[in-house]
Every structure is written in structure tokens, then in C-alpha cells.
Chain A
Amino acid sequence: MSTINIKEGTPLKAKIPEGDLAQKWTIYKDKIRLVSPANKRNLDIIVVGTGLAGASAAASLAEMGYNVKAFAFQDSPRRAHSIAAQGGINASKNYQNDGDSDWRLFYDTIKGGDYRGREANTYRLAEVSGAIIDQAVMQGVPFARDYGGLLDNRSFGGVLVSRTFYAKGQTGQQLLLGAYSALNRQIARGKVEMYNRHEMIDLVVIDGHARGIIARNLVTGEIERHSAHAVVLGSGGYSNAYFLSTNAMGSNATAAWRAHRKGAYFANPAFVQIHPTCIPRSSEHQSKLTLMSESLRNDGRIWVPKKLEDAKALQQGKLKPTEIPEEDRDYYLERRYPAFGNLVPRDVASRAAKERCDAGFGVNKTGEAVYLDFSTAIERYGKEQAHLKGIKNPSKKLITELGEKVIEQKYGNLFQMYEKITDDNPYKTPMMIYPANHYSMGGLWVDYDLQSNLPGLFVIGEANFSDHGANRLGASALMQGLADGYFVLPYTIGDYLADYIREGKIPTDTPEFEEAEEKVKEEINFFINNKGKHSVDYFHKKLGKIMWDKAGLARNAKGLKEAIKEIQELRSQFWKDVRVPGKANEYNPELEKAGYVADFLELGELLALDALNRNESCGGHFREEYQTEEGEALRDDKNYAYAAAWEYPAKPYERFTKHVNMSDAILHKEPLIFEFVKPTTRSYK
């Protein structure tokens, strides 16, 4: 199909321990080397990012006795974007007695990821999930409880059990504040040195090992050298390559990409998650998109009109959704997927929304929106409440009132958020939603130890690629971030550090630090002195449009080839024409953005290349050429059951002096071996 020539490098090994799936992690932990408390005091670790993964790792490592330096680009570790996660966190506690188990959570996750994840990592994730809840409750995380005082659960997409723990629509915030409190405790003890408003702009590699970073103090512009025996990246994903996404404005791939430039492989960049329930875009000036939690699909029903003329009337503002009778509504998820209904996985729900809107059934003026309707749930809850209160023959008005109260209890803050943004009252008229970029399953390649191919560089949370395959299930990002940070990395990193107990402090006055500092300064000075025609945002928006149109919800070989070419051209123009105001040695947000966008302009091309290389559809990666007759993803397990880890095709610092083609990246395959589950066609019917 594709005519591209991909250079192939040596295959990768994930270092998965022997033994039965359920025993691997236990066997591994029993066999690894430990570092004594006295020696931990002599070992330094850098943690970049203070979201759920970074904060929990920094706190745990410091508590164990290591010396930790933690870095956040925001003014406080508490503001990392994990804070915005709404719906919940999965754990296989089986508190609801609905047949849940570690195996089921593992199985749902590997199936949800369309069999493009690694079995052993995914099982370990499920295995430690329960401990996260125990840990969080001890830290004072106020999860939702029922009237008996025990923890409440709800259900998320792609599963048939209720295993999601939540704190209204602010679960990410509460879990992050828990990790932040643990981090604060270690900062107070002097075991974590916290660097706020600092950004990692290069990785320092000495004799093939990660040994430190170059950071920029964002307030003063000062360039700093920091050394350590190991570097941990918990720096999040790359959704902002699409310009509009649900990520925070500052979310960026720079730490990960600069590590990639220095030799760390970047895996499965094409696996991005497009979340089905976001507030549709409204204007040209929109800076970001806002997510409406997946938990809303517990009670909200998704629909568009059955009749094309109704859709037209809605688009022109001549008809209200409440005026369309029940029989003229197409609850297309319930129609297509009766078993899972509105709670199909995110990739399936997003594609189904696009399919209806492409066919002309979109419900707002742009034609890119579908309804998420709570009226059925309001009526159901209202009747239940009336019954509980012993009210006989309640009026419709009373039922609605009672039902709305229940909905408010469950989703109040989300409804308020929706109303503030759109000026529509979602209790009275259905919400309008549309898919938007949300999460990156791809990321830096890591082995079972969460160590990249560069020894001493560990990658955790969304920044790595390992646990979610080609599609992440709802409420699993919080689980993975905290699993990696609290319970996995603190073990695995010790096995690596055991070799360096006699090393002593790593000096920063070495040629490697010198070169890295000099080169990043050159790049910064280039930006300041370039005085081009266009702002950084100008290029970022152009990149976002290419990515969304040609490497978004649906992709094909022709479009991807065009995308690669267009991104290459845009990148050349960027290096010629970008304008960065201000100076290098001051607080300069435009300069920060210039670095992010320079990295996204390379990452975007690699993403398109990865999508072009993968001649199959799986999870969030949908190639139009590879679909079943019913329009479902068609996997090719014979040829593509591997993780694609890409090697940077140039020397680290060539890009602003010479045109670097990301399409020359070298592909290293990690074969995915399914010992314990048999990949089948995902079915949610």
C-alpha cells in the first residue's frame, strides 16, 4: 500500500520476567537488587513533572531515602494537568460484588487497547490498582461515599463492572492534591528540592547513560545544570501538537522530545486518544477545548435526529432539540452497540459521532456536534426519589425537580462548567458535544522496568507508551500515573541504582554538560534574534490544522503523505520566519512556546510517519483503508503486532542549522507476544 521506505533497526526487548502472568511482578520484586538506606542517601534522582506520576514518584523516592530534585514549569507542583482529570480512577477492588478481579481489569485494559499493549505491564497495573485506593484514602483523599460510609463506584466506558472510584467531577484534582501533600511532606523534610517555574530543555547523556538535565529558570531565564544518578520523566503527553486539545495551555512534549533527540526512542506516536465528549469549538479564537467527563455517559444518552431535515433545521437554529419527538431521535450508540450502549470505549464513540456528523446529522451551526441528553435519567431518578419519599402519583414537574437534584449531586460541577462556557442550561436542554484530542497513548519507549533504551532514563505516566496499547480506557490514566509513581518505579529504579552506590556526586563541569548548555543557549539566542514575520501561535495553529485534518480521527495513506510534506514545509518556514519578542534572560512565555512548537513540528511529522507505516486500524488509530464492512477497525495481527519505537534521525542539535527529515527516523520493533490472552476482534455489540 504505502511506498515509503522505512529504515529498520535492531528489535527491542522489554525484559519481561519469566513466570505466570499473575506471578511476574512478585517474582521480579523478590529478585531485584536493593539499595541500603545508608547508600540511598548518596544517590540523586531528578524527577521532571509533578503530575500524578511525577509527584507520587518524587514523594516515594524521597521517602525511601534518595535525594530528589523535582521540576515543574507551573508556579506550584499542584497545578500539573493531572488536576483536570474529572471522572475517576479504576481499581479492581470488587467492592460492588459484580465479579471484578485483577484479571478482569487487565483483560478489559488490554482488549480496550485493541491488543497493542504489553501483557506484563498491563497486568502489573491491574495488580497494584487496589493499593492506590488504600493509599489515597489514608492520605485524606475525599472519595465519594455511600450512606453506609463506604466507598462508592461508578462505571466507565468499555467495561461491564463498576470499578471506578471518584470524587465528584474532580477526581484528578483530589488525587493530585494527595500526591502533592506527600510531596510537601518530603519537601519539608528537605528530601525533595522543588524547582517551580523551571523547565527541562535538555537531557545530559554521559557514556550512554542519562546523568542530568539542563533546565531554564522561567522567571530569570537563567540556564542551570543539574546532575543525578538517574533521570525520571513524568512530563505528560503531546496532545497539544494538535493545537486545540483538552490539555492545558502549557502542556508540552519538550522534556520527552529533547530526550528523544538525545537517543531515547519514541514509541507509537500515532496512538492518540480523541475523547468523544468535549464541548464543541465555537470560534476562530478558541485557545483550547474543554472535556466533559466520560462519567456523564453513565446517565447521558447520545443522539442526533433521524431525519436530515431536522438536522438542517437545528443547524440553522430553527428547531430546538426538545421539540424533536422520541421516535425521530437516533440514539446511534445504543442502536449500533446494544451490549455497551452509550458506554462503548472512547475511540468507538468518537468515530461514531464523526460518522453521523459527516453524514450531515450534526446539530449545531458548524455541523460538528451531537447531543448528550439527561432527560431520561432525570425522569428515572425523579421517579425513584418520589417512591423513596413515599409520594404517590407525583406530578411531572415534581419528578423533574427531584431528578435534577440527583443529577446535580452527581455531576453538578460539570453542568456548571458547561453552562459557564456555552451559556446553555444542560438541565433543560441537552448538552452538545464533539470529539477532541485528549490523551497520548504513545510516548517514550520503556521496558518492564519503565526504563528507556537510554540507561538511567526512566519514563512514567502519560509520557511513556506502555500500558494502554492503541486506546486507553476511561479512568485508567490516573491509575497508571499513580501506579508508576507510587508502586512500580520506586522498585525498578533501585535495581539500576544499585550499580552506582560508590559513584559519588556527579560533577556538572564536564564536556557533556558544557556542550548541552551551549547548544540550548544557541537555540534560545536564535529565537530571540530571528525577528521573523509570524508569532509562534501562527505556526502552532497551522500545524494543528494539518494534524487534525490529516492525522486525526480518521487517516489514509494519501492524507498522511500530504501531512508529512506540509509539516516539513511548515517547519522550514518556522525556522525562517518565527518571531519571538522579548529577551532570553527574563520571564518570556513566547520563548517557552517557541521551544514547544519547534518540538511539536518534529513530533507531528513522526506521528504521521508512524500512522502511515501502520497499515492497519487499531484503537484510536483508524486508517480508512482498513475497516470492516460495518466500519469497525480492522487489525492486522500478522504484520503489526509490535510497538513501533523510532530513533531520532539526526544529531541532537542540528535542526536550526540544517533541515532534518523526521521521515528518515529508524524503526525499532518490539514484538508484542500474547502468552495469556488471545487477540480477538474487539466487539462491543
Chain B
Amino acid sequence: MKLNLKIWRQAGPNAKGRMVDYKIDGVESDMSFLEMLDLLNEKLIGKGDEPIAFDHDCREGICGMCSLFINGEAHGPDRLITTCQLHMRKFNDGDTITIEPWRANAFPVIKDLIVDRSALDRIQQAGGYISVNTSGRSVDANNIPIPKKDADMAFDAATCIGCGACVATCKNASAMLFVSAKVAQFALLPQGRVEAAKRVQDMVAAMDAEGFGSCTNTGACEVECPKGISLTNIAILNKEFLLAQTK
């Protein structure tokens, strides 16, 4: 396969970036999207050019490190996958593909396609935990039965990989889906109820302080989320937030 690539290049956080055109040949349909970029980089290094910097690590869709905006979509055209799981069989010979970093005020570009997502960590630090010491001497794991339905819903919320696709997709660059997934996971479990009110308030305050936009319920985040995190979590967050205000 031959492809025309238009890729965002930016030397550093304060440098001016621009789209650069590349032609690539010899792409195979079994390659993953990132293996296609590996191939391009190998060629660039061979020519003495600087390779394209992009974030990636596990390459099996779970670490949340990869983060490309491909043809205007977070993680590219396929659904329920990350960029590393996108395969070139989704493209055709001669296609033009644009590749950009996540775009959001709260995610400044570090280099080329790499952005700084530490804002998401700081939101978690504001309350994305249950305050239990690590002594292992709390109670037996089976002391509190949890209805399977609640446990399954908490699990579904907990599968968020923190990649930031929801933010990149949202026209307001809102982090509501990300925050709601953590709030909902803990709100659904008896262990998390104790601090539920404080948690939702602290996490929402941290989210606002980081400069993420507001949620206007367009639902685009849910469509692009590689883990299928449901909008229901945002409803749970809103409910928890209102409940917390009344306390």
C-alpha cells in the first residue's frame, strides 16, 4: 500500500507547529497503525531526518499511552479501540491520512504528536481514591457482599484507560466522561460511599481548575471512547454532585 501522510510536527512546547507531508510505500494491511509509523521513522532515520515523536507503550490497547487524532477522529476510524489496535486494513491504497495530536488547552503539546496529560493525574490526586491504609488488615474481602449488577457497573466504569480521547473529541474539551468514570466506580461500591460527597466535589473542582471545558451532553466522548465508557456515568456524577450540594 502507498499512502500520503499529513503529520503535525512541532519541535517543542513553545515552538510553532505545522502539518508536514510524507509519502510512504510498502505498508502492509496486517500492520498496526503504529507499526506503519515505525516504518516511516525507520525511513526518516535512514535519511538522516528526525523521526516523528508519538506516545505509545503496551501496543495492546490497555495502557492508554497512545493518543493520535487520525482523519479527525480520536484513535482513528475504527470503534472501541486505541490507535495501537487500529490496523492498516482499515485504509486503502493511495489514501491520504492526517495525523494530529490531542487538541485541548489542558493538554499542551510536548513534541510532535505527544501531549502533556498530567492534568488527568492531578484530578485523580484530588480525590480519585478510597482513603484506606495499605496494612491489609481491614476486613475480609467477602465481608461485604456487593450485588453483581453494581460490581459489574463499577467494573465497566473502572475500565477507563485515561487516554484522553474523550477530551480530544469533545468540542468543549471537557473531561466529564473521564472524571465521571472514577466518581461512578467508587459511588457504586459500598467501600466508596463513605467519601462519595467529598470526592465528587473535590474532583470536579480540580477538573475545573485544570481548564477543561464544560459538558454540554453532545455524547461525542462516548462514541470515541476506546473502552466504551457510558454516558450513564456522567448522569451518576451529576446526581452525586447534586446530592453532595445538599449535604
Contacts and interface: CB of A to CB of B under 8 A. Distances in A.
A282 B35 CA distance: 12
A108 B101 CA distance: 48
Q: Most chain-A Cβ atoms within 10 A of its Cβ — which of B53, B78, B125?
A: B125
Given A139-B132, A145-B151, A78 B64 contact: yes
Interface string B184-199: 0110010110000000
A590 B51 contact: yes
B146 interface: yes
Q: Most chain-A Cβ atoms within 10 A of its Cβ — which of B34, B39, B44, B121?
A: B121
Contact of A140 (B38, B46, B59, B185): B185
Interface string B103-129: 000000011001011101100111011
A283 B132 contact: no
A190 B152 CA distance: 34
Interface string A159-172: 00000000110100
Contacts of B146: 145, 149
B245 interface: no
A285 B28 contact: yes
Could you tell me the dominant secondary structure of chain B's interface residues?
loop
B14 interface: no
Contacts of A134: 136-141
A423 B45 CA distance: 31
Q: How large is the interface on A (under 10, 10 to 19, 20 to 34, 35 or more residues)?
A: 35 or more
Contacts of B12: 586-587
Contacts of A187: 125
Interface in A257-307: 282-283, 285-288, 290-291
Contacts of A93: 141-142
B110 A146 contact: no
B134 A140 contact: no
B56 A249 contact: yes
B32 A287 contact: yes
Contacts of A143: 141, 151
A133 B141 contact: yes
B218 interface: no
Given A137-B191, A587-B53, A83 B134 contact: no
A74 interface: yes
A134 B141 CA distance: 4
B89 A196 contact: no
Contacts of A526: none
B3 interface: no
Q: How large is the interface on B (under 10, 10 to 19, 20 to 34, 35 or more residues)?
A: 35 or more
B136 A135 contact: yes
A79 to B, nearest CB: 4
Interface string A59-103: 110010000000000111111010110000000010100000000
Nearest to B86: A420
B207 to A, nearest CB: 15
Contact of B46 (A133, A144, A180, A535): A535
Given A170-B159, A182-B129, A420 B136 contact: no
Nearest to B63: A79
Contacts of A149: 145-148, 151
B126 A248 contact: no
Interface string B5-30: 00000001000000000000000101
Contacts of A38: none
B154 A59 contact: no
B70 to A, nearest CB: 15
Given A84-B58, A184-B124, A142 B185 contact: yes
Contacts of B35: 283, 285-287
B114 A587 contact: yes
B50 interface: yes
Contact of A145 (B81, B110, B148): B148
B162 A76 contact: yes
B57 interface: yes
Contacts of B38: 285, 287, 537
A83 B62 contact: yes
B134 A74 contact: no
* 6 smallest beta-carbon distances between A and B, as pairs: A149-B145, A131-B136, A181-B129, A142-B155, A137-B141, A248-B57
Interface of B: 12, 28, 30-32, 34-35, 38-39, 42, 44-46, 48-51, 53, 55-65, 78, 80-81, 85, 87, 89, 110-111, 114, 116-118, 120-121, 124-126, 128-142, 144-148, 151-152, 154-155, 158-159, 161-162, 185-186, 189, 191-192
22 contacts: A75-B118, A76-B117, A79-B65, A84-B60, A84-B62, A131-B137, A134-B136, A137-B191, A138-B191, A142-B158, A144-B151, A151-B141, A173-B62, A181-B128, A185-B131, A196-B118, A249-B57, A287-B59, A487-B136, A537-B38, A581-B44, A581-B51
